[in-house]
């Protein structure tokens, strides 16, 4: 987790929802029901100038590239950051201290492997969402390409989802409550904020099985998030 999500709000909607402006680096994109690593997506950051702090909507590439990295290939391994170690890991600690972001999503996908002896070995995809969507905790970085151009990249924070609420997957993204937007986006160390974020696990979100067409990145459209019958293909029922 988290390897795919859905995002449909346009720039104007995001600006209203987050009381933000559309930044210089924002590019309007079509709704995407199969957002995958390496794609470009809207994120919320805090910018500072002579007038003070303000929230901005910008567009970034999913898969964080640390500023010190010599190779962009590292991004494929850094689409998620584990909250338990984010403050210590060299790839994330600088961004966690100074460059935190919010990733607006409608919902996200997860894959469940049944442990039932008679269940098929294929994994069943699920869609997890809640009314109004989710505002996932993230990090962002600027990386200078060999040609001198700068690339904006991001990663999503995850936490343990073990126990009854982790029945679909053992990891889950972290949601930022609205009253913590300013604290989370502020460019200063605040490790204690991790304890105030909300794991986006069943109970906080609803989860339902969806078509395995989501497995292929080339597939897109609202039908990918539509529910299948409540009983999964494996025979397990997810509450």
The question of whether 56 is a catalytic residue gets the answer no
Per annotation, catalytic residue among 2, 56, 141, 165: 2
The question of whether 141 is a catalytic residue gets the answer no
SS3 content of the chain, % helix, strand, coil (to 5): 20, 40, 45
Per annotation, catalytic residue among 56, 84, 110, 141: 110
CB 130 within 8 A of CB 204: yes
Classify residue 76 by its DSSP letter: G
Q: Which two tokens stand for residue 176?
A: 């930022």
Helix (H, G, I), strand (E, B) or coil at 24: coil
Q: Which two tokens stand for residue 104?
A: 């607006």
How buried is 69 (Cβ within 10 angstroms: 0-12 exposed, 13-18 middle, 19+ buried)?
A: middle
Residue of 35, 83, 84, 37 whose CA lies nearest to 64: 37
Helix (H, G, I), strand (E, B) or coil at 98: helix
Catalytic residue numbers, as ranges? 2, 110
């Amino acid at each position: 987790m988290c390897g795919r999500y859905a995002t449909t709000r346009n720039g104007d909607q995001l600006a209203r929802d987050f009381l933000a402006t559309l930044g210089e680096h924002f590019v309007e994109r079509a709704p995407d029901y199969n957002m995958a690593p390496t794609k470009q997506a809207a994120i919320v950051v805090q910018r500072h100038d002579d007038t003070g702090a303000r929230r901005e909507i910008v567009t970034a590439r999913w898969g964080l590239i640390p500023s010190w990295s010599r190779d962009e290939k590292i991004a494929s391994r850094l689409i998620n950051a584990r909250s338990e170690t984010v403050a210590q890991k060299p790839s994330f600690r600088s961004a966690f201290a100074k460059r935190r972001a919010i990733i607006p999503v409608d919902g996200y996908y997860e894959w469940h492997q049944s442990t039932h002896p008679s269940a098929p070995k294929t994994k069943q995809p699920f869609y997890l969402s809640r009314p109004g969507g989710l505002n996932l905790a993230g990090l962002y970085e600027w990386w200078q390409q060999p040609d001198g151009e700068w690339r904006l990249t991001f990663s999503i924070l995850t936490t343990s989802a073990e126990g009854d609420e982790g029945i679909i997957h053992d990891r889950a993204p972290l949601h930022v409550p609205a009253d913590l937007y300013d604290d989370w986006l502020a460019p200063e160390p605040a490790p204690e904020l991790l304890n105030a974020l909300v794991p986006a696990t069943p109970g906080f979100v609803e989860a339902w099985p969806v078509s395995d067409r989501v497995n292929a990145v080339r597939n897109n459209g609202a039908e990918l998030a539509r529910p299948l019958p409540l009983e999964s293909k494996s025979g397990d029922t997810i509450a």
